[in-house]
Amino acid sequence: MDGRPYGAHRLRPRIFTDQQIDTLLVAAGRLTPRVRAASWQTLLGLLTVTGMRISEARNLNDDDITIDDDAGDGSGWVRVTDTKFGKSRLVPLRPTTMTAIRRYRRLRDRTFPAPKTTAVFVARRGTRIARSTAGNTFREIREAAGLAGGSTEPAARLHDFRHSFATNTLIGHIRTGGDVDAMMPVLSAFLGHVGPEATYWYLSNTPELAAALAERIQARGGGDE
């Protein structure tokens, strides 16, 4: 054992660009029937803005998403209880995300007036999205989006939404002059990691993050010898 929080071997993450995420969302919107397309568009959108695990998103129930009455701006919260490490957490949702979820729920409820599940996200028959179904459907989406991979790049994976959220959040913090060490516990809590050290390891060997750190050093003149 090497003492690291995860296995010694892992696939290199693919950090999505905004354009690639848009392409995936468009591809999801072309699924059939319509409720399946809306379910997957909203699900992928939620993964994009929260960094949730796909298992956590699949297992969300309607009462796990609530509006923040105190804020008064239409924002809300998602309560994540089915986590990898058994830790519950609250993740904030922006007003635009809450609006998208409400729009999807209206379509879902019109399609299935007699609910078959308490799940937020449903498959074509109105049942909770199964693990195997999620994998098969995303392979269909990434193929349509032209992100199935090849000899020079890896295929897009659902877990890459999580990597992209973590990496891009930290890159944005770095580029605005924020303190990386101060940000890590916050990001760790968002991701549901057991501690910041797990998040450091999770983000290690990510070229996009290394480039952002290099920009910071050069901007401060740290690259001069």
From the list 94, 159, 200, 216, the catalytic residue is 159
* 98-142: pLDDT as tens digits: 999 999 999 999 999 999 999 999 999 999 999 999 999 999 999
Specify the pLDDT at position 87: 72
From the list 58, 142, 157, 193, the catalytic residue is 193
* 36-86: pLDDT as tens digits: 999 999 999 999 999 899 999 999 999 999 999 998 899 999 999 866 666
From the list 58, 162, 163, 173, the catalytic residue is 162
Specify the pLDDT at position 204: 63
* 5-36: pLDDT as tens digits: 444 445 677 889 999 999 999 999 999 999 99
159 part of the active site: yes
202 part of the active site: yes
Specify the pLDDT at position 1: 37
125 part of the active site: no
Average pLDDT, the chain: 84
The pTM is what?
0.81
Question: What is the SS3 assignment for the chain?
Answer: CCCCCCCCCCCCCCCCCHHHHHHHHHHHCCCCCHHHHHHHHHHHHHHHHHCCCHHHHHCCEHHHEEECCCCCCCCEEEEECCCCCCCCEEEEECHHHHHHHHHHHHHHHHHCCCCCCCECCECCCCCECCHHHHHHHHHHHHHHCCCCCCCCCCCCCCHHHHHHHHHHHHHHHHHCCCCHHHHHHHHHHHHCCCCHHHHHHHHCCCHHHHHHHHHHHHHCCCCCC
162 part of the active site: yes
193 part of the active site: yes
From the list 84, 106, 116, 220, the catalytic residue is 84
From the list 14, 36, 53, 173, the catalytic residue is 53
More confident residue, 61 or 189: 61
Domain ranges, ordered by start, for the chain: 18-144, 159-219
The domain 18-144 having CATH identifier 1.20.1050.10: the answer here is no
84 part of the active site: yes
